[in-house]
Amino acid sequence: MGLFFEILSAINNPNQNGSVDQLSTVMNGLQQVGGDRIDPNTMQTVLSTVGGFLAPSLKQQMLGGALPVDGILSQLTGGNIGSGLLSSILTPQLQQQIAQAVAQKTGMDATMIQTMLPSIVPAVLGFFKMGEATPGSGASNSVLQAFLDSDRDGDTDLGDVFKFAGRFLNRPA
């Protein structure tokens, strides 16, 4: 839940780019990826599993200097990405591992999951983009930092973000 609170904080912080419209766009993108094939509970499991693999991969690449944070977010958000760009974050072997792990947890077809990854990953990174600093503010990306939090306190689950964001955006009038 801590990661979702960081997203809410970014929405309310004038020094960060987050907005309710941006959150809505990310959620709509994830719902479109799933379409009629994936119910919200299953999508929550998919995102939790993808996040579990994505965090260590991003940490490793960023610590090694192979992938600057700003470059990741600008190149990989906003829609479906090519397999080459996806492979720069998640190796083909890791993509297969993700697909197998999701398949085991959800009963979905691993091949279908693997074909969905180029759409899921940019949508997930859209959550992180909400934490980017506004020009000239000098703020750090608190959403991405929370996701990459290495203290393993259990509150960086992307599935929880999906669940709470859905509740937030669809709250009763």
Per-residue pLDDT band for 173 (boundaries 50, 70, 90) equals: very low
CA distance 134 to 9: 14
**Number of residues written out for the chain:** 173
Q: Is the confidence at residue 46, as pLDDT, over 90?
A: yes
**What pTM value is reported for the model?**
0.82
User: Within 10 A of 24 (CB to CB), how many other CB atoms are there?
Assistant: 13
| Average pLDDT of every residue of the chain | 81
CA 56 from chain center: how many Å?
13
SS3 at position 129 = helix
Q: What is the mean pLDDT of residues 84-100?
A: 84
Contact status, residue 132 vs residue 17, Cβ threshold 8 Å: yes
Segment 119-147, tens digit of pLDDT: 888 888 888 888 888 888 777 788 888 88
Residue whose tokens read 């973000």: 161
